[in-house]
Structure formats: structure tokens, C-alpha cells
Amino acid sequence: MRAVVQRVRDAKVEVDGQVTGAIEKGLLVYLGVGKGDTQKDMEFIAEKVMGLRIYEDQEGRMNRSVRDVGGGVLLISQFTLFGDCRKGRRPSFDAAADPETADALYRQCAAYLRAAGMQVGTGVFAAHMHVTATNDGPVTLLLDSKQKRGAEPFSS
């Protein structure tokens, strides 16, 4: 499972002109589900998102999490995080999970975050969405549940 995490001042997602999810201060998280991803991968990503210390403390150091600052999470499904652009000009999405699996893990991730007390907004799985965000910092991080210490980032 992969996630792009952006610290935002505010963010919202619209589908067919209707806002389906919005947050004020918090994290915009684009979530991609890959073939072979499981509940364990989802829990790893969700825990990382909640625990990332990317907000400044009183001394100006990145030492506080989204939970610590009372922020929300806007969770957007994004299968294109598994796009492979190494050959040619058209990305291959062979590494992305099938839609049924991806939707289930995406919904489970939103539920997991809510059960942990987070305010969570979501997009609509497989819909054409318009996402608007005001980045804060900017701070943008990449997470991959399959990466181990010392491994190359996003290797295939």
C-alpha cells in the first residue's frame, strides 16, 4: 500500500459538483492499494498517518502529530500511485489491486482512522474527483507499507 501525505491548512474533494469530504487543518492522504496488500498493510499506513510527527512544537521542531494538533484526514483513493512509468509513455497499472480489493481496503482505512478518533473526510472510490488543498509548509511525504529499512524507495 502506498500513500502520499500532504500537510494542509484545508482540503476538500468534490464529485459532480458536490463536496463529499472536507477538512480544515490536517492531512490530505492519497491512498493506493497494490496487488497483495492486506489488512496489515492498511493498519501500517493508518498508524503511520496518525503518528507522523510533522507539526511544529513550541520550539519550532517537527514533533507533533495530526492527532496532537486536533487535525483531520482527507482520504482519497488513488490507484495511480501504482503506475509504472519505466517503459514507454503510458503508465502501466498492473501492480494496482483489483477494484473490489482496493475499495474494501480504502473503506477499512477510513473506518480504522475514525475508530481511532480521527475526523475523516473521503472521496468516492473510482469517481472522477476534484481535490482542492492549501498546502502547509509544504510538507509532503511518501509512505509504502512494503518498504523495509535500507531498501530503495518505491522499488518494484
Q: How confident is the model at residue 156 (pLDDT cuts 50, 70, 90)?
A: very low
Tell me, yes or no, whether 23 lies in a domain.
yes
Domain containing 76 equals 2-144
pLDDT at 147: 85
Cα separation, 94 vs 77, in Å, equals 17
Would the pLDDT of 152 be above 90?
no
Instruction: Please say if the pLDDT value at position 50 is more than 50.
Output: yes
In 3-state terms the chain splits into helix, strand, coil percentages (rounded to 5) of 20, 40, 40
End-to-end CA distance of the chain: 13
Q: CA-CA distance, 65 to 109, in Å (whole number)?
A: 18
- Give the residue-averaged pLDDT of 45-50: 98
Catalytic residues: 78-80
Given a contact cutoff of 8 angstroms between Cβ atoms, the answer to whether 85 and 34 are in contact is no
Does 9 map to a domain?
yes
Domain assignment present for residue 154? The answer is: no
Residue 132: CB partners within 8 Å, gap ≥ 6? 11, 12, 13, 14
Identify the pLDDT of residue 98. Answer: 97
Q: Could you tell me if residue 52 is inside a domain?
A: yes
DSSP 104-127: HHHHHHHHHHHHTT-EEEE--TTS
pLDDT higher than threshold 70 for residue 150: no
Closest by Cα among 27, 5, 30, 155 to 102: 30
Identify the CATH number of the domain in which residue 100 sits: 3.50.80.10
Whether the ω angle into residue 99 lies within 30 degrees of 0, i.e. cis, is: no
Q: Check whether 34 has a pLDDT greater than 50.
A: yes
- pLDDT surpasses 60 at 149: no
Q: Report yes or no on 37 lying in a domain.
A: yes
Q: Is residue 150 part of a domain?
A: no
CA-to-CA separations, 147 to 11, 40, 46, 93, in angstroms, rounded: 28, 13, 15, 19
Average pLDDT over every residue of 8-20: 98
Domain assignment present for 149: no
Average pLDDT, the chain: 94
d(CA 74, CA 99): 20
Number of domains comprising the chain: 1
pLDDT in tens, 91-143: 999 999 999 999 999 999 999 999 999 999 999 999 999 999 999 999 999 99
